[in-house]
Copies of this chain bind each other. A is one copy, B any other.
Amino acid sequence: MENKIFVFGHQKPDTDTIASSIVLANLQTALGKNATAYKLGNVNKETAYALKTFEVEEPQTLNEVDENCDVMLVDHNEFAQSVNGVEKSNIKMVVDHHKIKFETKEPLFYIAEPLGCTASILYKLYKQNDVEISKPMAGLMLSAIISDTLLFKSPTCTDEDKKIAEKLAKIADVDVDVYGKEMLKAGTDISEFTPYQVINIDSKEFSDKNARFEISQVNAVDLDSVFSRQSELEDAIQKEIKEKNLDFYMFAATDILNANSKIIAIGNKANTVEKAFGVTLNNNTAMLDNVVSRKKQMLPNILNNLD
């Protein structure tokens, strides 16, 4: 029997990372390899909803790999976002849609495309290899596209992602809009989370020579319910600013049905946010119309207005 292959996505897994791990392991198995999907951390509620809907089991957790392990990476390539020991393992394949910072000693399969979602690339690999896509695999790939593109509303979404999603929806036998909204909604339930947990669901720190700041984002279907906790969220944000010595902190609750974001911005340089989006902060908050993507909208606008 061939060496076992460990297939996994990035730390702090999202729906694309978990779905793509399972789907690539399934494709490799169909091609005769001994491949198994793993996760590097707990799955979120949105992903759990997708797995339950399509009756697919959650992968086991992987803590580290060693130099004897054959591995395949999905939805990431930078070692800093990967499993412990990945730099010594035998990387056989990478399937990803992010910028690249990567190095290996041996030739390998590396398949990256500038699409909205890793699962869209995997769909094309099934077609190229002439492997049939089962209903559960179609459901997971569709869930990943819906998640990464916020139901096609994110500027990261391409025409190709949309077309692939339509084909997958037929195989998965679901109405994209109905299922997509339910899945996204499942991921917005933050009622059991502490304020600290809420602002750390998906938070990234950035810095340039002028400022150090953090942008945190949560998906929501009811902005009022998120902002009913504004006071305790601000306390948690203030604590982060102090501990990390940040110039400002922007928390964005993104309305996934209407494709807007309502923000809280706090810190010495919080006025950067006002300039970046042409808004005035009122009680530390503002509404950003048509802004949903941290990568393509929030971050570039802020970076262009730092001083």
A:106-124 near B, CB below 8 Å: 106-114, 124
Selected from B99, B102, B105, B113, the residue in CB contact (under 8 A) with A109 is B113
Q: Which residues of B contact A98 (CB under 8 A)?
A: 107
Selected from B97, B102, B106, B128, the residue in CB contact (under 8 A) with A102 is B102
Q: Does A101 contact B (CB under 8 A)?
A: yes
How far, in whole Å, are A98 and B112 apart by their CA atoms in the complex? Answer: 16
Q: Does A63 contact B (CB under 8 A)?
A: no
By beta carbon, the residue of chain B nearest A111 is B111
Q: Which residues of B contact A1 (CB under 8 A)?
A: none
Report the copy number of this chain in the oligomer.
2
How far, in whole Å, are A104 and B101 apart by their CA atoms in the complex? Answer: 7
Q: Are A114 and B109 in contact, with the CB atoms below 8 A?
A: yes
By beta carbon, the residue of chain B nearest A106 is B99
How far, in whole Å, are A102 and B110 apart by their CA atoms in the complex? Answer: 12
Q: Which residues of B contact A178 (CB under 8 A)?
A: none
14 other A-B residue contacts (CB within 8 Å) besides A109-B114, A111-B111: A99-B106, A99-B107, A99-B108, A100-B102, A100-B103, A100-B108, A101-B102, A101-B103, A102-B102, A106-B114, A107-B114, A108-B112, A109-B112, A109-B113
In this complex, how many residues of chain A approach chain B with their Cβ under 8 Å: the count is 20
A:204-220 near B, CB below 8 Å: none
Q: Which residues of B contact A101 (CB under 8 A)?
A: 102-103
Q: Which of A106, A107, A108 has the most CB of B within 10 A?
A: A107
Selected from B105, B110, B114, the residue in CB contact (under 8 A) with A111 is B110
Q: Which residues of B contact A124 (CB under 8 A)?
A: 128
How far, in whole Å, are A98 and B124 apart by their CA atoms in the complex? Answer: 23
22 interchain pairs (CB within 8 A)? A99-B106, A99-B107, A99-B108, A100-B102, A100-B103, A100-B104, A100-B108, A100-B110, A101-B102, A102-B102, A102-B103, A106-B114, A107-B112, A107-B113, A107-B114, A108-B112, A108-B114, A109-B112, A109-B113, A109-B114, A110-B111, A110-B112
Expressed in whole angstroms, the minimum distance between the Cβ of A157 and any Cβ of chain B is 13
How far, in whole Å, are A128 and B130 apart by their CA atoms in the complex? Answer: 12
Expressed in whole angstroms, the minimum distance between the Cβ of A78 and any Cβ of chain B is 9
Q: Which residues of B contact A109 (CB under 8 A)?
A: 112-114
How far, in whole Å, are A107 and B100 apart by their CA atoms in the complex? Answer: 7
Give 7 nearest A-B pairs by CB, closest first. Answer: A110-B112, A107-B114, A101-B103, A100-B104, A110-B110, A109-B113, A99-B107
How far, in whole Å, are A111 and B97 apart by their CA atoms in the complex? Answer: 12
Q: Are A97 and B107 in contact, with the CB atoms below 8 A?
A: yes
